[in-house]
Structure 1
Amino acid sequence: MDKRSVLLKGNLRQYVMVIALIVVIIFFQILTGGVLLKPLNISNLISQNAYILVLAIGMLLCILTGGNVDLSVGSVAGFVGAISAIMMLKMNIPVLPTVIVSLLIGFLIGCWQGFWIAYVGVPAFIATLAGMLIFRGLTLVVLQGTSLAPLPDGYTFMASGFIPDFTGAGKLNILSIFLGIIASVLYVLREVNNRRNKKKYGFETSSSQAFIAQIVAIVAVINAFTISLASYKGIPMVLVVVIVLILIYSFITTKTIPGRHIYAYGGNMKAAQLSGVNTKKVMFWVYANMGLLAALAGVIFTGRLNSATPKSGQNFEMDAIAACFIGGASTSGGVGTVVGAMVGGLLMGVLNNGMSIMGISIDWQQAIKGFVLLAAVAFDVYSKSKSK
């Protein structure tokens, strides 16, 4: 087997999902008459799916521990959004303390569920199912069946605001273009450094031609994306939040000992225990982290909606789980990446957005997303059977 075949086989899931995302984008760009990739729609696409991407990051870590999921994240997000609205509108608490307390509440909820799962031994499915029922009920209790709106501008800024252009150049947001150039330079430096390190330690690398082609393609996508945003209102604040989370959690999962422990747990729990991994601690912190990110998603969604409603968060967990599996996470755990989960989330977002533009009903949208999820998991099972 040559070098190219080894590289392709090792990254098959990622390649297939990226290609699928590109195909779906081109497909809907044609069918919608070019509406999909208009600057306004791209900005809306980011805002509409940011909270799902945030949840997908946390859900990925849960799935890595052995295919476990958190069914409570939608209810937790709705509950935290309701609490934050009550704090601001009924208790007159300023925005910043409200956001901090909201995130803390989500973290404590995650610790609560992590305790039952890791130290009591309640299966994650049951513990989080109970959490889904508990916090859905509490959301209805605290809101008393009514919605709270409108919310302060400072609260909604993170979900629906844009980074201001300090250059004052007019219609085109120069700051967005500048940030795109910086991102391109950082990406090139990172890839060159990674390639150099792989060669240094004798790992397989792609050919120079393939490497250069990849660099050129990604840089072109980054700058086309930022130029498109620059022609509307610039870079959404929520995009910055998502990018920061991607960078942080990519680093944690690939460069730190806790990240390696999560993968080791999912790969073989008994072997991880014999190697000295505190598996209970790993499971506890994975679900504590999920609670924190669920709270952040709740703040983002409530801010975007500019209202706290009793039904906020419904089915969020399903979209997050689907994003992870579509993005290449294994149903048995131990396999998956943050970037892959983001690709899966974007694929789901493009499907939703494209079908909505075309006027396809919600019923058919749900059915089509179900078929996509089934195909992704079937591909995972097939690829495993072929590798044995």
Structure 2
Amino acid sequence: MEKKKTVNLDLKQFGMVFALIAIYIIFYFMTGGINATPMNMNNLIMQNSYVVILATGMLLCVLTGNVDLGVGSYVALCGAIAAKLVVENGMSIALAFLITILVGTAFGAFNGFFIAYLDIPPFVVTLAGMLIGRGLTYTLLESKTVGPLPDAYVKVGAGFFITNKIQMGSGTLDIVCIIVAIVATALIILSELKSIKTRQKYGLAIVTPWQTIVKLAIIIAIVWFFFYKLARYNGIPIVLIIMAVIVGIYHFITSKTVPGRQIYALGGNAKAARLSGIDTRKVFFWVYTNMGFLAAIAGIVLSARNASATPKAGDGFELDAIASCYIGGAAAAGGIGTVIGAVVGAFVMGVLNNGMFLIGLSTDLQKVVKGLVLLGAVTFDILSNKKKK
């Protein structure tokens, strides 16, 4: 009987996950456990939802070897449009959201046209977009805050999914969260079994069983910790569902579809991609159009979270989105990176921001820490690639 081929788990794939856990534990002790309270876990999700949404779109730009510097301005502009339509024009929330998403997508297509078909460098185009978007936001809002927004609008960014609470100890427990945790656990195990079966089918080596069990145990423990904390608060935030849907769709696009693989090919070697028959102009166009689309969604979520639209909304979001991608393992030169990695990177930034806020670190020093983390992540990526070569 042929012996099954096994390999050790590639720990580098989970480097940022380990870093995220380590950072969280460090702040747990520094804050006396405040960062692990149900309320703070909920805040962590809501405060980083728009960064996760932007990081998902930004990853596609980074995979091409470029970035979009204007997303923070697009977020502000789209949030302003949605708020103005609802508050001052009495438009239905659904129609206002649709128009806002169309405007954001059009802004992205505007950038994509100059980048893809006029060969203007993305850095220049998106820098111009940043200035145009911010200027239009100030003009539209007349440098004023628009609000308060209706409860149905606010619910998108600060509301919760259907709950079914039971009394447990001194508090309550949301059964819906527990059911979701059970389903997530089952899906994780089934996905791993399917992966093992596929590798065996094609004669590929599988990860040593005990290492697979340890990996699954850690992932499932994180899932249960996360959903248990939400269950002890108000249940699943609506914005978490929005994030999960977006991340799931884009993970599928980048890993299982032809357009997704074309982005990787373009970032890996643009000339080779063109010679292989890939329409690189079309790829550039849809990547930046998509960034405008996701920025519009993030703008709606942010304005809903704040219950108002302000001229300075989204300030610096482009840096958080870009940093999330690089910290999550995306290569600065393009062609390497995953949506899940970008999400992990976004939560690394989120946990850092949250933890530094809870311990009372000044905003000036917070920027220093985030800058060092970003520099360290990119330096590690470049040095690792040099060693491989």
TM-score by length of 1: 0.96
Pairing of 1:214-225 with structure 2 (within 5 A)? 214-225=215-226
Q: What do residues 276-312 of structure 1 show as CA deviations (whole Å, max 9, x unaligned)?
A: 1110000000001000000111111111011101111
Pairing of 1:131-150 with structure 2 (within 5 A)? 131-150=129-148
Equivalent residue, structure 2, for 1:83: 81
Partners of 2:329 and 2:341 within 8 A in 1: yes
Whole-Å Cα distance in 1 between the matches of residues 330 and 372 of structure 2?
A: 17
Between 367-376 and 205-214, the greater mean CA deviation after superposition: 205-214
Whole-Å Cα distance in 2 between the matches of residues 225 and 91 of structure 1?
A: 40
The amino acid that maps onto 2:54 is L
Deviation at 1:313, TM superposition (A): 1.0
Equivalent residue, structure 1, for 2:97: 99
User: Secondary structure, in 3 states, of the residue corresponding to 2:207?
Assistant: coil
Whole-Å Cα distance in 2 between the matches of residues 3 and 242 of structure 1?
A: 35
| Structure 2 residues not aligned, in runs of 5+ | none
Whole-Å Cα distance in 2 between the matches of residues 194 and 99 of structure 1?
A: 39
User: Are 2:374 and 1:373 aligned?
Assistant: yes
The amino acid that maps onto 1:53 is V
Stretches of 4+ aligned residues off by more than 6 angstroms? none
Whole-Å Cα distance in 1 between the matches of residues 345 and 353 of structure 2?
A: 12
Deviation at 1:203, TM superposition (A): 2.9
| Structure 1 residues not aligned, in runs of 5+ | none
Deviation at 1:19, TM superposition (A): 1.2
User: Secondary structure, in 3 states, of the residue corresponding to 2:335?
Assistant: coil
Whole-Å Cα distance in 2 between the matches of residues 119 and 80 of structure 1?
A: 25
1:119 to 110, 117, 120: 117
The amino acid that maps onto 1:46 is I
Equivalent residue, structure 2, for 1:156: 154
TM-score by length of 2: 0.96
Whole-Å Cα distance in 2 between the matches of residues 317 and 138 of structure 1?
A: 17
Q: CA RMSD in A?
A: 1.2
Q: What do residues 168-208 of structure 1 show as CA deviations (whole Å, max 9, x unaligned)?
A: 53521111111111111111111211221122123332111
Whole-Å Cα distance in 1 between the matches of residues 259 and 116 of structure 2?
A: 16
Q: How many aligned positions are there?
A: 381
User: Secondary structure, in 3 states, of the residue corresponding to 2:173?
Assistant: coil
Deviation at 1:212, TM superposition (A): 1.6
User: Are 2:38 and 1:43 aligned?
Assistant: no
User: Secondary structure, in 3 states, of the residue corresponding to 1:336?
Assistant: coil
Equivalent residue, structure 2, for 1:353: 354
User: Are 2:227 and 1:226 aligned?
Assistant: yes
The amino acid that maps onto 1:88 is V
Deviation at 1:79, TM superposition (A): 0.3
The amino acid that maps onto 2:360 is G
Equivalent residue, structure 2, for 1:71: 69
User: Are 2:37 and 1:33 aligned?
Assistant: no
The amino acid that maps onto 1:137 is G
Equivalent residue, structure 2, for 1:278: 279
Whole-Å Cα distance in 2 between the matches of residues 361 and 367 of structure 1?
A: 10
Equivalent residue, structure 2, for 1:20: 19
Equivalent residue, structure 2, for 1:301: 302
Partners of 2:158 and 2:305 within 8 A in 1: yes
Whole-Å Cα distance in 1 between the matches of residues 344 and 225 of structure 2?
A: 18
The amino acid that maps onto 1:169 is I
Whole-Å Cα distance in 2 between the matches of residues 52 and 3 of structure 1?
A: 38
Identity %: 48
Equivalent residue, structure 1, for 2:166: 169
Whole-Å Cα distance in 1 between the matches of residues 6 and 18 of structure 2?
A: 21
Equivalent residue, structure 2, for 1:313: 314
Whole-Å Cα distance in 2 between the matches of residues 250 and 297 of structure 1?
A: 18
